[in-house]
Amino acid sequence: MRVPVLRSVRARTTLLATAVVAVALAVGSVGLVATVTRALSGSDDDVARARATVLAAELAAGSLPREVAGLGDDSLAQVVAADGRVLASSPNLTGRPAVSDVRPSGSAPEVRTLRDLPDEEGEDEDEDYRVWMLAAHTPEGEDAVVYVGPSLESAQEAGSQLVGGLLLGVPLLVVLLAAALWLIVGRALRPVEAIRRRVATLGAADLDQRVPVPDTRDEVARLAETMNAMLARLEEADTRQREFVADASHDLQSPLTAQRVELEVALSDPAADWPAVARGALAEGSRMEALVRDLLFLARTDSVRHERTGRLVDLDDVVREEVDRARVASPVPITSSLDAAPVRGHGDDLSRLVRNLLGNATAHATSAVTVTLESEGSQVVLRVADDGAGVPESDRDRVFERFVRLDPARRRTDTGTGLGLAIVRSVALAHGGSARLVEAATVEVRLPAG
């Protein structure tokens, strides 16, 4: 069974970092002990070899003293003749026989480990020594061997003291490090917990609230800024949705109210012209049908991710067909200049885009509508212009929003739904393109070329 606290990032981070440091300290401690032991042994070896060389030279010169001084209690020295006589020795070997009968195989110093040798004169303790042997000669030419070496106990004691210190210090250091990591990680994650608590309290009515941004300029601060940006987008989307629902309800209610009033008036008038009443009801029904159809279309395009899909479509053919259809009902002439412009997408949606552009232009034109289609590099550009009053620069982006009402000169007609340009932008975005007003009365649609 997992302990609940171990599920936290704080606990896992602390445990992982502590384990890594503990392993590193353990490996480092082993390496330190080995290095110190090797260094001590190497230093003692250098001293022992040098002293053996000095004793061999003194023996050859005839100046070898009977007692070898200056070695300390942890070392021994002995010069032994070929017949086993002890010619000189350190104080701890005074009166003792030869420490070894082993002779070096050559003229160079050789090392041996001699065990159970006396510690100090008069004591019963025995020690192990690392002894260097060197062949020497008396002034008479008699062979001899010089033995000099330190006790292994001194290096072992130094190593043991170091190991003891490490066994005490390393665990204590690991515990202190774990406590420090726990506090540091907890402090680092405190802003995250503050963000979590704030988000946990937010509901659909609290989208105007924001999470606290710590003054750290790190990943946590960027996370808080990203959360606030997301909340701002959600708030904006919620506001647009509420406005859209309110506008749609109003625009659906208007024809229904007009239809009901017309029927009530006809019912109260015995001489009512019922064929005219029926025609009026059909007109209002057609307006509601167009509005509902546009709403359903926007709902469908909003649910589709903005990406290039569909088959290859000759946009110039689509525009030509829609221009020919619009000329039949348009009160103003429509001129067009169309280049070949293949795009990838859905023909019906592109037809609706062009139809809405032409309907918007002819509704506001004074005497002419101009349509151009051309290729610009990797894009296809469709422009529809009219010579009407135009849109102020401050409102040129708003006209693509749903049910936006501008000045009367550019307000939608009684037969429109107020969603024409919104559908244009929605279709353009769904095809990986864009739609905007580049001049007061010129709508530009850019689509990726097929």
Q: Indicate if 310 and 435 belong to the same structural domain.
A: yes
Q: Is the pLDDT of residue 381 over 90?
A: yes
Q: Is residue 380 very low, low, confident or very high in pLDDT (cuts 50, 70, 90)?
A: very high
Q: Indicate if 318 and 418 belong to the same structural domain.
A: yes
Q: Indicate the number of domains in the chain.
A: 3
Q: Is residue 360 very low, low, confident or very high in pLDDT (cuts 50, 70, 90)?
A: confident
Domain boundary among 99, 132, 155: 155
CATH value at residue 269: 1.10.287.130
φ, ψ of residue 105 in degrees (nearest 5):
-80, -15
Q: What percentage of the chain exceeds 90 in pLDDT?
A: 9
In this structure, of 169-173, 190-194, 396-400, the range with the lowest mean pLDDT score is 396-400
Q: Report the mean per-residue pLDDT for the chain.
A: 81
In this structure, of 2-6, 24-28, 87-91, the range with the lowest mean pLDDT score is 2-6
Domain boundary among 251, 271, 300: 300
Classify residue 11: in a domain, yes or no: no
Looking at this protein, which amino acid is placed at residue 66? R
CA pair distance 238, 244, nearest whole angstrom: 10
Classify residue 415: in a domain, yes or no: yes
Classify residue 318: in a domain, yes or no: yes
Q: Is the pLDDT of residue 428 over 60?
A: yes
DSSP lists the bridge partners of residue 311 as 345
Q: Is residue 3 very low, low, confident or very high in pLDDT (cuts 50, 70, 90)?
A: very low
Structure-model confidence comparison of residues 289 and 365, the more confident one:
365
Q: Indicate if 91 and 146 belong to the same structural domain.
A: yes
149, with CB counted inside 10 A (0-12, 13-18, 19+), is buried
CATH value at residue 76: 3.30.450
Classify residue 204: in a domain, yes or no: no
Q: Indicate if 430 and 359 belong to the same structural domain.
A: yes
122 conformational bin, left if phi > 0, alpha if psi -120 to 50, beta if neither: left
Classify residue 295: in a domain, yes or no: yes
Q: For residue 406, what pLDDT is reported?
A: 60
Q: Indicate if 362 and 406 belong to the same structural domain.
A: yes
Q: Is the pLDDT of residue 233 over 80?
A: yes
Q: Indicate if 294 and 310 belong to the same structural domain.
A: no
CA pair distance 306, 298, nearest whole angstrom: 13
Parent domain of 255: 219-300
Q: Indicate if 355 and 427 belong to the same structural domain.
A: yes
Structure-model confidence comparison of residues 371 and 281, the more confident one:
371
Classify residue 213: in a domain, yes or no: no
DSSP lists the bridge partners of residue 132 as 111, 148
> 380 with 315: CB under 8 angstroms?
yes
Q: Quick one: CA dihedral 438, 439, 443, 449, positive or negative?
A: negative
Q: Is residue 372 very low, low, confident or very high in pLDDT (cuts 50, 70, 90)?
A: very high
Q: Indicate if 275 and 390 belong to the same structural domain.
A: no
Structure-model confidence comparison of residues 21 and 308, the more confident one:
21
* Core vs surface per residue 175-203: b (16+ CB within 10 A) or e: eebbeebbeebeebbebbebbeebeeeee
CATH value at residue 393: 3.30.565.10
Q: Indicate if 282 and 370 belong to the same structural domain.
A: no
Domain boundary among 155, 173, 188: 155
CA pair distance 439, 387, nearest whole angstrom: 11
Structure-model confidence comparison of residues 403 and 438, the more confident one:
438
Helix (H) or strand (E) holding 430: helix 420-430
Q: Indicate if 313 and 274 belong to the same structural domain.
A: no
Q: What percentage of the chain exceeds 70 in pLDDT?
A: 87
Classify residue 62: in a domain, yes or no: yes
Helix (H) or strand (E) holding 81: strand 75-81
Q: Indicate if 392 and 279 belong to the same structural domain.
A: no
Q: Indicate if 361 and 431 belong to the same structural domain.
A: yes
**Whole-prediction pTM:** 0.48
User: Which residue's entry shows tokens 């009977």?
Assistant: 66
Classify residue 169: in a domain, yes or no: no
